[in-house]
Amino acid sequence: MSAAPPPALPVTLANNPRLDQWVRFPQSGRAAVATGKVEIGQGILTAMRQIAAEELCLAPDRIELHSGDTELTPNEGYTSGSQSIQYGGVALRLACAEVRALFLERAAAKLGCRREELSIADGKVLRQGIAAGEDYWSLAGEVDLARRATGAAALKEVGAYGIVGRSMPRTDLGGKVFGEAVFIHDMAPQGMLHARVVRQPRPGARIARIDEAGLRRAAKGPVELVRDGDFLAILAADETVVENLAAVAGNYVAWDGVERVNPLREEARALLQQPSIDRVIGDPEPAAAAPGRYEASFTRMHVAHASVAPSCALALFEGGRLTVWTHCQGVYPLRAALARALKLDPAAISVRHVQGPGCYGHNGADDAAADAAVIARSRPGQTVRVRWRREEEFAFDPVSPAMVVTVHAALDEAGRPADWTTEVWSGRHSSRPGGGGNLLAAEALPDAAEPPQPVDVPEASGGGGTRNGMPLYDFAKKRIVHHLVPETPVRTSALRGLGATINVYAIEMAMDELAERAGMDPLAYRLSVLSDARARAVLERVAKMSRWQPGLPAGTAKGRGIAFARYKNMAAYAAIVAEVEVEEEVRLLNVWCAADAGLVVNPDGAVNQLEGNIVQAASWALKEGVRLDETGISSRDWESYPVLRFSEVPEIFVELVDAKADRPPLGVGEASGGPAAAAIGNAVAHALGARLRDLPLSRERVMAALLRG
């Protein structure tokens, strides 16, 4: 043992230091393991089970895994930002290692032997490889886990792993293919009331009058109304009754103070006319513009989460306690926000995660939970279920903000950037309720608190608008100029990747243009300014996978593009080659991806995430942009907000680089999105012989480029 002090605890273990918050042995042959991270389709429950089983030396199916429940699990904040394995998994691994060490110590004392003689196999203590008659359960009464983690326990050697590093089938997928899994939408406790909200059309709108008689006449069955300030909901025992009524309920309510939206603000360039909070990150700005300057602007419209189903929540207020079932990404932050909004003690609120449709960030889930809570408060003893309508999810989703990114580069004699600026205009990328406010129902209550000042995600957490704005390349001077636009036409918040998608798009498109100016192949040009060995390795691997060939002619209607990023400059590395065909619109043929995520817990799970992020980014790049009219978001269905369909999806090939190496795990869930969008952009440019810098790369934009010839 080293005499050095133990390393600082991983952040979520430091915040939840009692070991029994993570691991308990309540029942013979079983272990209860808790994670604050929640399943949002990314396979985290399977990976956490693998981590705990490996470090506890236990068969995975002995573990009863609790997740995202204020009564049962540690507070690990949000399940977001590709942090679950990199931080939450590392915390769980260390907690499990310490639990195993404590049991081994106790067993050694009891057996009167040295601890080094002992090991554990599937929960049983072995002495020199032979069962010693003790196990976790026989010792459980003698080992007090209600103690603080020290972080001093030795982790299992990665070389000895038998569970982590192998692809394990998703534990939740079986129930989903047989239609047996209970999503939050499927919960149906006895006596449940179905509710829909008649929502304020815009923030601050006030109810002028309600034609209650008309509303009741329009209903095909008995309905109840709940009103609290400008919050109005309709309730019925029969979901069909309330759903049908919700579609027309707006006709029976008149509103005052409905602010209008300027539809022109759907275009990203409208940001340039807005007041902004400005700062510089990185090297100071140069005094004068250098010669040989390159400058180009890239834009992206607002983008919706567009979850496949609208948000849903259940709530029960009984005996002074509020219980909320939600598919949000952070049960503790939501509990804090609900406590503030409803003026309840947080200890009187339980928030429990139940799986929903993939959210990809801060969608309507938290708002639906607040809706259910406000309604439940007025119906003590009855479970209230709120399910948003499809158009409500599109209209009130806190969308990803529109962005403009301008790259300025001063080049040296070899045509390589000596000074680089990524200049970003963007609304904020996080307005999650844990930060205070921003629950639609709470804002409609009579005593609503003032909304908090808009802030963006800090750089220490990867930044919001600035995310991946700092190129990883070896430029002598580099910086981000960030213009945070506080006032946006619609609510904005976190969508997978945040600002990284368009920042990587801009940087990697610019790199291709600069390579062309320098007369170099895009891959060779990147490698000539990239010393990070892991970054080089993913680029070289993807080039090999895709049989990258320099010098293929441009403008032939078929094109290839390459792009690279390390997500947040601190999570996984990903390099992508995309191959497209462009006639009147862009057709994706093949996408290759090489990624380095350090030690990978579940390789197939990581590949699945990389593939999914590629498809989603392809959809953003080719199709997506939120439309606005005077009432707010006007793209309220899948026809006005199209996403990529099956026949538009390319063949995808993903490889992990050094996935079994003993290196810290790096978050992978959002790593391939930026590079995928950029590789597609570069491939389209190669196919067309012309650069399209505004997303989405729609048919209209492609046709215009073709006409310009």
Partner 1 sequence: MQAISFTVNGRAAGVTADPDTPLLDVLRNHLGLAGTKFGCGAEQCGACMVLIDGRPEKSCGKALATVAGRAVVTVEGLGTPQRPHPLQEAFLDEQAGQCGYCLAGILVSAKALLDRNPSPSRREIAAALDGNICRCGSHARILRAVARAARAMREGAAR
Contact residues for partner 1 (CB under 8 A)?
A: 40-43, 167, 169-170, 172-174, 176-183, 185-186, 188, 220, 238-240, 243, 306-309, 355-358, 360, 387, 389-390, 604-605, 608-609, 611-616, 619, 637-639, 643-647, 649-652
Helix or strand run (H / E) with residue 654: strand 651-656
Nearer to partner 1, 526 or 636 (CB): 636
Contact between 566 and 535 under an 8 Å Cβ cutoff? The reply is yes
Quote the strand ranges of 95-143, DSSP E.
118-121, 124-127, 130-135
3-state class of 506 per DSSP? Answer: helix
Strand order in the sheet with 417-426: 277-282, 477-484, 417-426, 403-411, 293-300, 694-695
What's the closest the beta carbon of residue 647 comes to partner 1, in angstroms?
4
Nearer to partner 1, 425 or 641 (CB): 641
Structure tokens at 610: 């990389």
Nearer to partner 1, 162 or 638 (CB): 638
Nearer to partner 1, 186 or 278 (CB): 186
Contact between 503 and 674 under an 8 Å Cβ cutoff? The reply is yes
Within a 13 Å sphere around the CA of 301, how many CA atoms are in the beta-carbon half? 23
What's the closest the beta carbon of residue 58 comes to partner 1, in angstroms?
23
State the Cα–Cα distance between residues 88 and 523, nearest whole angstrom: 35
Q: How far is CA 187 from the centre of its chain?
A: 25
Count of Cβ atoms closer than 10 Å to residue 427 Cβ: 28
What's the closest the beta carbon of residue 538 comes to partner 1, in angstroms?
20
Nearer to partner 1, 612 or 667 (CB): 612
Nearer to partner 1, 75 or 244 (CB): 244
State the Cα–Cα distance between residues 708 and 558, nearest whole angstrom: 18
- What is the radius of gyration, based on Cα positions, of the chain? 27
- Distances in whole angstroms, Cα of residue 381 to Cα of each of 58, 192, 384, 492, 587: 41, 10, 9, 35, 55
Nearer to partner 1, 15 or 244 (CB): 244
Structure tokens at 660: 């079994």
**Alpha helix segments (H runs only) across 632-708:** 673-688, 699-708
3-state class of 609 per DSSP? Answer: helix
Nearer to partner 1, 323 or 613 (CB): 613
Q: Could you tell me if residue 543 is left (phi over 0), alpha (psi between -120 and 50 degrees) or otherwise beta? A: alpha
Q: Could you tell me if residue 568 is left (phi over 0), alpha (psi between -120 and 50 degrees) or otherwise beta? A: left
What's the closest the beta carbon of residue 358 comes to partner 1, in angstroms?
4
Hunting for tokens 């003032």 — which residue is that? 450
Contact between 125 and 105 under an 8 Å Cβ cutoff? The reply is no
What's the closest the beta carbon of residue 68 comes to partner 1, in angstroms?
15
Hunting for tokens 């909320």 — which residue is that? 324
Q: Torsion angle, CA of 328/149/89/538, rounded to 10 degrees?
A: 130
What's the closest the beta carbon of residue 384 comes to partner 1, in angstroms?
16
State the Cα–Cα distance between residues 197 and 215, nearest whole angstrom: 13
Nearer to partner 1, 29 or 174 (CB): 174
Nearer to partner 1, 511 or 591 (CB): 591
State the Cα–Cα distance between residues 10 and 14, nearest whole angstrom: 6
Contact between 568 and 575 under an 8 Å Cβ cutoff? The reply is no
State the Cα–Cα distance between residues 613 and 488, nearest whole angstrom: 26
Nearer to partner 1, 21 or 546 (CB): 546
Nearer to partner 1, 342 or 563 (CB): 563
What's the closest the beta carbon of residue 592 comes to partner 1, in angstroms?
12
Nearer to partner 1, 532 or 648 (CB): 648
Helix or strand run (H / E) with residue 254: strand 253-256
What's the closest the beta carbon of residue 178 comes to partner 1, in angstroms?
6
3-state class of 398 per DSSP? Answer: coil
What's the closest the beta carbon of residue 497 comes to partner 1, in angstroms?
13
Q: How far apart are the first and last CA of the chain?
A: 70
What's the closest the beta carbon of residue 187 comes to partner 1, in angstroms?
9
- Distances in whole angstroms, Cα of residue 451 to Cα of each of 203, 227, 329, 444, 448: 11, 21, 21, 12, 9
State the Cα–Cα distance between residues 256 and 234, nearest whole angstrom: 20
What's the closest the beta carbon of residue 84 comes to partner 1, in angstroms?
14
Q: Residue type for 634, please?
A: S
What's the closest the beta carbon of residue 659 comes to partner 1, in angstroms?
16
What's the closest the beta carbon of residue 619 comes to partner 1, in angstroms?
8
What's the closest the beta carbon of residue 245 comes to partner 1, in angstroms?
13
Nearer to partner 1, 144 or 637 (CB): 637
